[in-house]
Amino acid sequence: MQESRLDIPQILSRLPLFQELAREQIAALEPACRERRLAKGGMLFQKGDPAKGFFVVVFGQIKLAFPSSQGNEKVVEVLGARQSFGEAVMFMDRPYPVFAEALADSLLMHIGSAPVFALLETDPLFARRMLAGLSTRLHSLVQDVETYSLRSSAQRVVGYLLQHCPESESGESAFDISLPTSKQVIASRLNLTPETLSRIFHDLAANGLIGVSGKQITINDVKRLREFDL
Amino acid sequence: MQESRLDIPQILSRLPLFQELAREQIAALEPACRERRLAKGGMLFQKGDPAKGFFVVVFGQIKLAFPSSQGNEKVVEVLGARQSFGEAVMFMDRPYPVFAEALADSLLMHIGSAPVFALLETDPLFARRMLAGLSTRLHSLVQDVETYSLRSSAQRVVGYLLQHCPESESGESAFDISLPTSKQVIASRLNLTPETLSRIFHDLAANGLIGVSGKQITINDVKRLREFDL
DNA sequence: CGTACCTTTGATGTGAATCAAGAGTAGTGG
DNA sequence: CCACTACTCTTGATTCACATCAAAGGTACG
C-alpha cells in the first residue's frame, strides 16, 4: 500500500480509452489527474455524491453497489485493474447512483471532466472510443437485466462460471478458475444470498460438474455445464 | 396507417439528438434515412439480427424485449414518439440483444450508421449529445437493476405509477393517468406476471390509494403512495 | 491463538409464479 | 346488430424457488 510517485502518462496511455492519444494529448490530461489510495473496506464515494470526473483502477478491486434500507446491499459491478467507471455520470452531471468501496487495497486515478470534454472537442477518434466504451457497458447491463429476469439462480451461477472460463477452454480436460472475490460479493452480484450460492456450488459439485475448494473452482465438465445453462 | 411522403428534415430536426444541427448537416443525413411502417404486432427485428444504424419512432409504439424458451418474454422497454433506440448496438456493431415489435401501428425512421459516424468526425457538439443520450440510457438501466433487485413487486408498481404522474402533481387533489399500453406489457416491463399486477392494483385500490378503470388509473393519494414507495 | 468474518448446512417461511376458470372487451364478418 | 372468436384481465387455489433464521464449522489475520 505504498509506492512513491506515479508515472501518470504511462498509466493513462495503457488504458484502452486513451491508447493512440498523442503525447501532448496525454500531457493535457495529466494536470486533471489525482491519485486516490484506498485501504480494503475504504469508501470511494457514496450514492448521491456529486461526480466531476471518472475513475480508473490502477490496481486493486472496487465494488459498485446500491445501499439498501435493511443493511443488505446489491452489488452492481466488481472492477479490477485497467477498468474505469463513472463516465456516464460525468456526462450527465448527476450524483452517483451507486456507492463505491474498495474490496482490496487499491490505487485509483481520478480524471477530472474538463480536459476530457476538451479532448472530445478536438479528437473525434477519442469521442468514438468513449461512445464505444459506453455502448459496451450499456450492452452488458442489458445482458444483466436479461440474466436477472429470465434465468434461475443456478443458471446465473453457471453463466457466471462460464463467463470466467479462460477463453477457448472448450476442450475435454478439467481446469481451474479462481474466484476474483468473496462468495458473498459474488452472490450479491448474481442477486443471490450467500446461502443460496453455497447450496448451488454444493449441488453442482455433487453432480460432478465442478469441484470447489475455497476460491478455486475446478470445472470438470464444460459441456454439461453449458447444457445446464440452456 | 398511410401518409404519403415524409418531411425527413423536419422529423430529424425535431429530435433532441439532432437539434441544433445546421441545415446541411441534416441534409447529409437524409439519404441514409429509410422509413419503416409496421402494423400492430409487426416485427421490426429479431434478437440476433445485425444492426447497421438506429431507429427513431415517428409515431406509434415499439416494445423491446427478450424472447424466452417457454414463450413468455421479458419486456425491457416501451418506446413512443420521438424516442430512439439501437444506437449502442450500432457503435459496437453487434447483433441486437433484444427483439423489437410494434405495439401499435407505427412509423419509424431508420438512420444508417455511415453519416452518423461522419457527423461524429466533424461535429463535437453532436458527439456530446450522443454521449449524453447513451449516458442517460445507461443511468436508467442502472435504475432498473436497482428496482428489480431491491424492491418488492408492489413497490415496483407504485414506482411505475409515480414515474408516470404528470410532473409537479404533488398537490392534494386526485388525478388520472392513462396507462400507455396493455397491463400485460406493463407487468412484463416490471418483471411481474399479469396476475400479480392485477392483484397489486386490486390491493392498492382496496386501500383507497388508487382507482382503476381499464387503462385509467386515478391517483387518490400521492403522498401515501410515495410513502409506500419508501 | 483468539476474535471477527466468511462459508456451509439445516429447518422454516413467504412472495410471487403457476395453474385453472371465469368475466370482461374488442375486433370481425355474416 | 348480433354472434363469434380471440384476447386481455381478474380471481381463487396451489406450488415452488429462494430468502430468512439459526447454528455450526472454517479461515484469516492482528
Measured at the CA of A190, the angle between CA A189 and CA A193, to 5 degrees, comes to: 95
d(CA A42, CA A40): 6
Amino acid A2: pLDDT: 45
Q: What is the pLDDT of residues B86-122, one digit of tens each?
A: 999 999 989 999 999 999 999 999 999 999 999 999 9
pLDDT over threshold 50, residue B26: yes
Query: Which strands make up the sheet holding A210-213, listed edge to edge?
Result: A175-178, A216-219, A210-213
Q: A65 near A50, Cβ under 8 Å?
A: no
% of chain A at pLDDT higher than 70: 96
Query: pLDDT tens, A41-67?
Result: 999 999 999 999 999 999 999 999 999
Q: Is B48 on the interface with A (CB under 8 A)?
A: no
Query: What's B40's DSSP letter?
Result: T
What 3-state DSSP class applies to B92?
coil
Q: What is the pLDDT, as a whole number, of residue A204? A: 98
A148–B150 CB contact, under 8 Å: no
pLDDT in tens, A98-127: 999 999 999 999 999 999 999 999 999 999
Q: Is A144 on the interface with B (CB under 8 A)?
A: yes
> For cell 440476433, what's the residue?
B48
Looking at the predicted structure, is the pLDDT value of residue B67 above 70? Answer: yes
**A207-217 confidence digits (pLDDT tens):** 999 999 999 99
Burial of A117 (C-beta count, 10 Å sphere; 0-12/13-18/19+) = middle
The three three-digit cell numbers of residue A204, written as one number: 453442482
CA of A45 to C1' of D27 (A): 30
Q: Which residues of B106-145 are buried (b: 16+ CB within 10 A; e: fewer)?
A: bbbbbbbbebbeebbeebbebbebbbebbbebbbebbebb
3-state secondary structure chain A: CCCCCCCHHHHHHCCHHHCCCCHHHHHHHHHHEEEEEECCCCEEECCCCCCCEEEEEEECCEEEEEECCCCCEEEEEEECCCCEECHHHHHCCCCCCCEEEECCCEEEEEEEHHHHHHHHHHCHHHHHHHHHHHHHHHHHHHHHHHHHHHCCHHHHHHHHHHHCCCCCCCCCCCEEEECCCCHHHHHHHCCCCHHHHHHHHHHHHHCCCEEEECCEEEECCHHHHHHHCC
Buried-exposed string B178-192: b where 16+ CB fall within 10 A, e elsewhere: ebebebebbbbbbbb
Give Rg (Cα) of chain B: 20
Q: How many CB atoms lie within 10 A of CB A212?
A: 15
Q: How confident is the model at residue B170 (pLDDT cuts 50, 70, 90)?
A: low
- Under DSSP, the state recorded for B174 is -
Q: What percent of chain B has pLDDT over 90?
A: 86
Question: Distance (Å, rounded) from C-alpha A112 to C-alpha A43?
Answer: 19
Angle between helices A113-122 and A124-150 (to 10 degrees): 120
CATH fold of A153-227 reads: Arc Repressor Mutant, subunit A (1.10.10)
Domain made up of B8-150: CATH architecture: Sandwich (2.60)
Domain ranges within chain B, ordered by starting residue: 8-150, 153-227
- Kindly tell me the number of DSSP H helices and DSSP E strands found in chain B: 9, 11
B190 CB and strand C closer than 7 A: no
pTM recorded for the entire structure: 0.94
- pLDDT-derived band at B166, boundaries 50, 70, 90: confident
Q: Which nucleotide is nearest to B190 (CA to C1')?
A: C16
Whether the pLDDT of residue A225 is over 50: the answer is yes
User: Taking CB atoms and an 8 Å limit, are A127 and B124 in contact across chains?
Assistant: yes
Q: Give the bases of strand D that a protein CB approaches within 7 Å.
A: 8-13, 17-22, 27-28
How far, in Å, CA of A123 to CA of A22, rounded? Answer: 10
Q: Using the CB atom, is residue B214 less than 7 Å from strand C?
A: yes
Which residues of chain B make contact with A128, given a CB cutoff of 8 A?
Answer: 91, 117, 120
Predicted local confidence at residue A162, as pLDDT = 96
Confidence of residue B167 (pLDDT cuts 50, 70, 90): confident
Contact indicator for B76, B142 with CB cutoff of 8 Å: no
CA distances from B110 to A16, A226, B76, B85 (A): 31, 37, 20, 10
Length of chain A: 230
* Structure confidence at residue A129 (pLDDT): 96
Mean pLDDT over residues A194-200, rounded? 98
Q: Please provide residue B15's backbone torsions phi and psi, each rounded to the nearest 5 degrees.
A: -80, 140
- A202 pLDDT exceeds 70? yes
- The pLDDT value recorded for residue B143 is 98
Cα distances (Å, whole numbers) of residue A160 to A20, A187, A189, A222: 33, 10, 10, 13
Local confidence band at A228 (pLDDT 50, 70, 90 cut-offs): confident
In sequence order, what are the residues at sequence separation of 6 or more whose Cβ sits closer than 8 angstroms to the Cβ of residue A229?
A: A155, A158, A159, A162
Mean of pLDDT values over B197-210 = 98
In the predicted structure, residue B4 carries a pLDDT above the cut 60: no
Give yes or no for B202 touching A (CB within 8 A): no
Chain A contact for B174 (CB, 8 A cutoff): no
**Choice between A31 and A3, residue whose per-residue pLDDT is larger:** A31
What is the identity of the amino acid at A67? P
Residue B160 neighbours by CB under 8 Å, 6+ apart: B186, B189, B190
Instruction: From the CA of A195 to the C1' of C9: give the distance in Å.
Output: 9
B199 CB inside 7 Å of strand D: yes
Is the CB of residue B14 less than 8 Å from the CB of residue B82? yes
